Amino acid sequence: MRNWWWFILWCWLSPATATTVVTLYAYHNAPPFVINAENDTGLNYDLIRALQQELGDQYQLNLQQISRPELNQRLAARLPTIALWTNPAWFVADAGPYLWSGTLFSDREVFVSPYQHAHKIQQLNELTGSRIGAIRGYSYPGLNELIAEGKIQRIDTDSDKENLTRLLEKQLEHVVITRSSFLYYGRQTQYLGKLKITGQPYPAYRRQILFTRDYQQLYPEFEQALQRLTLQKYWLDRLSLYGLKPL
């Protein structure tokens, strides 16, 4: 009889204490999003921890690092997906629109040059005759056309760090890089006082979270938690550490 009573009690409590496992995908693997994957440092991990604080024990949040092509494949296959640091302009839904979170922070692509470079870059055609460091596989509207016309030489690498090193070694005149990444690198000893932002001709964009329609029921609760992050000390401290501010 006692065992039967404990079974009934377990059945009654289990639904209330059940934990839903939710995987969030991130395809950004450079600072400030990933600084040290072995130590789980960087904004990818900070956001998971901050959200976990707001959502409590009802959800267990897992971070899965993937590449952009892998993310594209998931979306094309219509698999349930929550993707960090995205923007509606970069993703087109084939079967109904995605759900989008509010803005986590604003970002943009900028041009970085040696500190002694005096000229401000306001128009992309002002880069004519330059060697530009870029990330392999990335597309830069306006810049692409100048490269195709032979007016600019594009030199690709696999990381911002390698581009910035080449810039210091005078193998490049400029590097195109995400502003949030340069805010991190620009404060490192090897770059401090040696490099600066000289152009911001691209418009700013909002970093958001993409939810496929599989998460329609979960979305409102996550969106409320994200809104509360604007008041959460841990999250605000992490953004401040990287020179970022919430919108």
What residues have CB less than 8 Å from 195, skipping those under 6 apart? 112, 113, 114, 115, 164, 167, 168, 182, 186
Structure tokens at 8: 């009934």
As a 3-state breakdown, the chain gives helix, strand, coil percent values, each rounded to 5, of 40, 25, 35
What's the confidence (pLDDT) of residue 95? 61
Neighbours of 164 (CB within 10 A): 25
Burial class (CB in 10 A: 0-12, 13-18, 19+), 137: exposed
What's the confidence (pLDDT) of residue 10? 44
What's the confidence (pLDDT) of residue 44? 97
What's the confidence (pLDDT) of residue 45? 98
CA distance 243 to 43: 12
Question: H/E element holding 63?
Answer: strand 59-65
Exposure of 34 in the CB half-sphere (CA atoms within 13 A): 18
CA distance 239 to 182: 14
CA distance 140 to 208: 20
CA distance 116 to 130: 16
Residue type at 205 in one-letter notation:
Y
Q: Which long-range contacts (CB under 8 A, 24 or more apart) does 214-219 make?
A: 214/80, 214/81, 215/80, 215/82, 215/99, 216/99, 218/20, 218/22, 219/99
Which pTM does this prediction carry? Answer: 0.84
- Beta partners for residue 208, in sequence order: 86
- Mean pLDDT per 10-residue interval, the chain, length 247 residues: 46 59 94 94 97 94 94 94 95 82 95 92 93 90 94 94 95 96 92 93 94 96 95 95 86
